[in-house]
Chain A
Amino acid sequence: MAARWNENIVAEHRDLQANAMSVDCTGQFAILAGKRVWAVINLDTPQDVVKKLSRQSRWEVSVVEWNPHVLQKNLFAATSNQSADIWSWADGCGRQIASLKAHTRVISDVNWSCFDSNMLATCSVDTYIYLWDIRDSRKPASALSAVAGAAQVKWNKIDSNYIATAHDGDIRIWDHRKNSTPVQYIAAHLSKIHGLDWEPKQELCLATSSQDGTVKFWDVTSPRQPQSTLNSTAPVWRARYTPFGNGLVTIVVPQLRRGENSLLLWNTDNLSVPMHTFIGHSDVVLEFQWRKFNEDSTDYQLVTWSRDHTLRLWKIDPHLQKLCGAEEFIDDVHRDMVSISPGSRHSSISGVAIEKTSLGSDKEQTGSAVEEINEKVKNVSSSATTVTAGQPQTLQQEFSLVNVSDITNVKLDLDAMHRSCKVTSVHVNNMVTLNVSFPANYPNNAAPDFTFTKPTNIDTKTKSKLLKILQETSHQHVKRNRTCLEPCIRKLVTGLETLTVDDKVQDSSQTPYNLQNVSVVKQPVMPIISYGSYRDHNIPFPRTSGARFCSVGKLVVFMRPVVKKSSNPENTPRSLSVLGTFRTLPIKGMASQTSQYNIYNTNLGSPTRDVEVSISNYYKDRDRERKIRGRGSSKHKRGWEVDYVKPTSSGLVTVYDIEIVLPIHKTLAQNYVLDHNDIPGMCKFGTLCQHCHREVKGAHCVECKRYSFQCAICHVAVKGSSNFCLSCRHGGHSHHMLEWFQTQDVCPTGCGCYCMQEDFQLYGRERTDSFSRSGHTGRERTDSFGRSGITSRERADSYGKSGFSNFL
């Protein structure tokens, strides 16, 4: 259910830094309250701020709420720290009309009464709950004293006297006429209760959402046991009833912000699976409210405000409302209409059905009669899409109510007489004919039988998959004694589309980019959504370039194809979830500098889903988008069309030979003989006395009794690490030489040799030789050879620097 992609509108308001939001009772305005500004937004054009009012306060606005009464629809209450301010919004300007000050600690919640437009309740951690009449703002009209601080206060939606408050894990119900003690205690949760909402249709029912990860539904008259419990994986921040059906919307307190930024829509009759998931926010949802689309429609919009600084409006279509059991709930505006139409419709249809029965086996006639029914159904359903009064009782009724007019490639052949129907669906080159026969006690826990008949041209594997889908769907419905034909047909169509997607890809490759074609393509269900990577903020973005040393002296480098040089670090995304926002539909002209990744609309997008999620395309598209934007946004669509090229160039993988930069010399190592039997012999290799040119084995030359190798700087015998010039043969301690040659280029002895230059030339000519002549006195030689020759970083570097004998 969750994967259905809803139409939603996104408006970004990064500058407001708002953390509270409220929608007014007419659904026209929303207020966003931040620390510095108020902003009133017209929800018909949510990207524009109607009015900004600056505010000076050290405190954040914790809660803001419009007055729910049309009479006083211009009033809103906002709390910050210890005071609740009443503001009036009229004629495009806002003005504070009262400030309610009585609480001694920060106010945690505010709620207008549903009955008295002047009544308002505030609660605070100071343990008091105050009821205010805003006409007298000096002191509260009434005070309820609880021992514990309250997090939430809510007026009952049916009985004007009751108020519920949440104190940690407890709920208290108050009657404000008797304000000394609560009338009911409910020990609802063991953890803190974050949210509280009264059931809008039942006086004594409420829902609590808690840190313990559950939503509990209570009848306040039986405080011992919740009526039902909804289990969530994370603490639930808010759970509120929908204004239609038996729905409930929850938002969770995201644990570690792991992509749980979706709102879940539940049917309170089925708490096992959410009916719908509203996916799109990239950060925590702070507030959500309902908005009536307009007075004459049954459509609702869910308005959400998130920490990602976007305001989203989600359309709740009749289908979704139906999922929440909205057919049982018909609001006042429509009651009249419904009361007229269903009767007439039903009578006429049953009339046809009876007629059909009497016609018996005359198939042609039956067919046309059925078509007539369909025609009628279509007409009726198009005029009032949500009018589906109750569950159909008979098969005829169900048939008459089946509404698949939005699916173009399905043909239905209904035969209520034989309790069967024939569904024909064509998708690309695939044709499916399905026979559905309904058992006598359908839909009461008896699922219909599905069989494929000719003409059907899909393979057996696809057939069995489709059958499985159908059986699952039907079982789910009949288990709850609900009819299942329409859901099954829908499943069949989507199943057919997904299972035969390969054909579609092939098909679209023949016509690489055809806008007409694209517009028909149904939005594919995002395949990766099942494991949530696109929603999780903390899954890192893939590395699109990299370099790794490999053990054989090679550096393997891969990279993304370079379209053009770009070095703006802002462009490198952080997490994989930016690809997810590829899919949302922004409003034209929204703040462009912050919406880099939001500009992709799936309708405009490429025709195959594979392309849609590819990383290389991400960059490609972005670069192209930049180009297009440069030419003016009006050309956007056109630009896409013209510029679309199949991605052909992929990144290169390059292998570099990096032996030259490693302090390893293969040839030297091969020439180096380690002779275990003649270690002294091996050590002989090398040093001659500076003076008498005989071999030496220590600091002193045995022959001339002088130091075998004297440092040219400190004149002390050199025992440890040393360097000397290959030309004039003067040298000394490595560190002395290094110091000297950092500033000088002549020999420190004053012999006039330009050691650096000489050695550079020498080194260039005979690099192998230089190794054997790098002077070390005998005792340390083995070790220092080993170290300098193979790994010692410092050593290798010092040679490199001094230029005496560079091993590299």
Chain B
Amino acid sequence: MFGNLLASCSYDRKVIIWKETNGTWDALHECNNHDSSVNSVCWAPHEFGLMLVCGSSDGAISVLSSAGDGTWETKKVNNAHTIGCNAVSWAPAVVPGSLIEQPSAQKPITVKRFVSGGCDNLVKIWKEEEGQWKEEQKLEAHSDWVRDVAWAPSIGLPHSTIASCSQDGRVIIWTSDDSTGSMWTPKILHKFNDVVWHVSWSITGNILAVSGGDNKVSLWKESLEGQWVCVSDVNKGQGQQPSEGPQAEQ
């Protein structure tokens, strides 16, 4: 979702950008860049402009950016993940550490980055360099397909966090404490008994919602000692318990 734009991807290999005008949704643009199912789309932070990254089962990742005149420019990274790419997520547009650093004369240049996960069990970080997308980091820890990745929002503290989840039931939190993001340390948040399909960060970047094949959602938070604890476990099948955990809205 980007304003009144919605991007959707599908098993039919297409990515469609929809636009809402007066309450109706119309397809604004249809992209047929991929040879197999497109599994994930993610809009870039608004600071980067109208930009969209798509990950597909053909192993490629494509970055669509609006030229502004209604046309879309595509940059494709072929064979980004062997066998297939399952998830993509943009890094926040905030430079790590910018909050506490002394404001220098020139504004630091924000590097565009995104993270992807795929069937090669890898999490990869991509960086835009001279208009081209280059693989910056390759993070290895999962033992099966990576099903989702999520880069945590940031207000500019000097660390970056990425969550990834996998077919192997593990959710891994990757942290990097330098602003360049060259060193990433994995930490297993939890090993679930079933496939983990989805991870999502709260806007504050400190709570992670995890959901998977067991049809359950749990919320996780890091304690001061650096342990990840489950703060809320919603077993949807068993009905909501409003006294503990999230309150249900109508």
A residues sitting closer than 8 Å to B (CB atoms) are 256-258, 528, 531-533, 536, 538-540, 543-549, 551, 553-555, 557, 559-560, 562, 565, 567, 569, 572, 574, 576, 652, 654-658, 660-664, 738, 790-794, 796-798, 801
Contacts and interface: CB of A to CB of B under 8 A. Distances in A.
B117 to A, nearest CB: 11
B119 interface: yes
A123 B238 CA distance: 64
B160 interface: no
Contact of B198 (A528, A543, A562): A543
Given A536-B36, A572-B195, A662 B204 contact: yes
A560 B212 CA distance: 11
A662 B202 contact: yes
Contact of A545 (B86, B212, B223): B212
Contact of A548 (B83, B169, B209, B236): B209
Contacts of B49: none
29 contacts: A256-B83, A531-B13, A538-B119, A539-B36, A539-B57, A540-B145, A545-B215, A547-B217, A548-B198, A549-B200, A549-B209, A554-B249, A562-B236, A567-B193, A567-B194, A567-B214, A569-B169, A569-B213, A572-B194, A576-B37, A658-B207, A660-B247, A661-B232, A662-B203, A662-B207, A790-B204, A792-B157, A797-B224, A801-B223
B174 interface: no
Contacts of A565: 237-238
Interface string B42-85: 00000000000000010100000000000000000000001110
Nearest to B210: A547
Contact of B217 (A258, A536, A557, A576): A557
A311 B249 CA distance: 53
B213 A658 contact: no
Given A256-B82, A546-B211, A549-B200, A791 B157 contact: yes
A540 B205 contact: no
A453 B118 CA distance: 56
A539 B84 contact: yes
Contacts of A257: 83
B231 interface: yes
Nearest to B197: A543
Contacts of B83: 256-258, 538
A567 B213 CA distance: 9
B211 A797 contact: no
Nearest to A532: B36
A531 B13 CA distance: 8
Contacts of A546: 197-198, 211, 217
B36 A559 contact: no
A38 B198 CA distance: 44
Contacts of B248: 654, 656
Contacts of B215: 544-545, 559-560, 562
Nearest to B237: A562
Given A533-B36, A654-B236, A793-B221, 6 more contacts: A257-B83, A533-B37, A540-B145, A547-B209, A654-B248, A738-B224
Nearest to A792: B157
B86 A540 contact: yes
A536 B59 CA distance: 13
B224 A545 contact: no
Contacts of A540: 39, 57, 84, 86, 119, 145, 147
Q: Which of A553, A572, A655 has the most CB of B within 10 A?
A: A572
Contacts of B139: none
Interface string B172-204: 000000000000000000000111011011111
Contact of B11 (A531, A551, A572, A798): A531
Please give me the 9 A-B residue pairs with the lowest Cβ-Cβ distance, nearest first: A572-B213, A656-B246, A562-B237, A543-B197, A547-B217, A569-B194, A547-B209, A546-B198, A793-B206
A551 B203 contact: yes
Given A531-B11, A661-B246, A547 B193 contact: no
Contacts of A797: 221-224
Contacts of A576: 11, 37
Interface string B209-245: 1111111110101111000000110101110000000
A796 B157 CA distance: 15
A738 B224 CA distance: 10
B111 interface: no
Contacts of B121: none
Interface string B16-42: 000000000000000000001101000
B12 interface: yes
Nearest to A543: B197
Interface in B90-127: 119
Contact of A557 (B12, B13, B211, B212): B211
B155 interface: yes
Given A533-B37, A562-B236, A547 B211 contact: yes
Nearest to B229: A797
A661 B231 contact: yes
B164 interface: no
Q: Which of B13, B217, B248 has the most CB of A within 10 A?
A: B217
Given A539-B36, A662-B204, A801 B232 contact: no
Contacts of B57: 536, 538-540
A664 B193 contact: no
A540 B157 CA distance: 35
A662 B202 CA distance: 8
A553 B214 CA distance: 25
Given A551-B203, A562-B215, A801 B198 contact: no
Contacts of B236: 545, 557, 559, 562, 652, 654
A664 B224 contact: no
Contacts of A544: 213, 215
Contacts of A258: 36, 83
B222 A555 contact: no
A548 B217 CA distance: 10
A14 to B, nearest CB: 20
Given A536-B57, A549-B202, A793 B209 contact: no
Contacts of B217: 545-547, 555, 557
A553 B153 CA distance: 14
Contacts of A567: 193-194, 214
Contacts of B249: 554, 654-657
B123 to A, nearest CB: 15
Contacts of A557: 211, 217, 234, 236
B32 to A, nearest CB: 11
A626 to B, nearest CB: 16
B178 to A, nearest CB: 18
A661 B145 CA distance: 31
A665 to B, nearest CB: 11
Nearest to B193: A569
Contacts of A256: 59, 82-83
A733 to B, nearest CB: 13
Q: Which of B12, B195, B210, B213 has the most CB of A within 10 A?
A: B213
B12 A531 contact: yes
Contacts of B201: 549
Nearest to B13: A531
A576 B206 CA distance: 33
A738 B225 CA distance: 11
Nearest to B218: A547
Nearest to A662: B204
A718 to B, nearest CB: 18
A44 B207 CA distance: 59
Nearest to A795: B224
Nearest to A569: B194
Contacts of A660: 246-247
A590 B236 CA distance: 35
Contacts of B213: 544-545, 569, 572
